[in-house]
Amino acid sequence: MLKAFYLNMADTVFFALLSLFFAGINDVVFKKYFMENLSKGMNIFSIGVIWTLLQLIAFKYKGIHVAFDSSTLCYGLTAGVFLTLSNLLLLESLSKINVSLGSTIYRLNSIGVVVFSFMFLNEPLSFFKAMGIIMGVLGAFALYQKKGNGPYTECSIIFLSIAIAASFLRAGYGLVCKAGLVHHAQPQTMLLIAHLS
């Protein structure tokens, strides 16, 4: 039984690291895309189309039926607004700050999820969660380096704020999805609607 637990834990850690790896590739591609002066809207649209197609294939393969009850529609559309705005703001922030900082701040959305879930879903805020929040914020500060010896510019502070807003919107997406599950929204259709947005 203990062996099975450790194997399951190893799989979990492996998939979490794999997810972080692909998230890093995703953000580098976002940055390169932006450097080419291409349409941000078309980028987000393409992501939505690909996600939707992949989810529809998964629906067909797993035999999942699409559900359009009011709870699923409401939470799916709200999650879609949060997800779309967070991606657009992430792209905008990457136009002026380096990708390592922008990506790190965006991935710190879990801090927002912890805070929001404590405030709105009455989930406990443990000592270790609080320490994780502090370490995450300190890590972002460590990455925030001004260029040269000059002062922080108003522009860099604005785009840093945009990255932080993107992270909080992404946290809002997670919170809305969790609230949807609590209110019996069908998870697969909720995600499908969010990505259609």
Q: Dump pLDDT digits (tens) for 49-97.
A: 888 888 889 888 888 888 889 999 999 999 999 988 998 888 888 877 7
Which of 45, 43, 51, 40 minimizes the C-alpha distance to 195? 51
Ranges of each domain in the chain: 2-196
| pLDDT (0 to 100) of residue 79 | 93
pLDDT single digits (tens) 26-49: 777 877 777 777 777 787 788 888
**Cα(112)–Cα(97) distance, integer angstroms:** 21
Q: Which helix (H) or strand (E) segment is 95 a member of?
A: none
Residues 6+ apart with CB under 8 A from 58: 64, 188
Whole-angstrom distance between the N-terminal and C-terminal Cα of the chain? Answer: 44
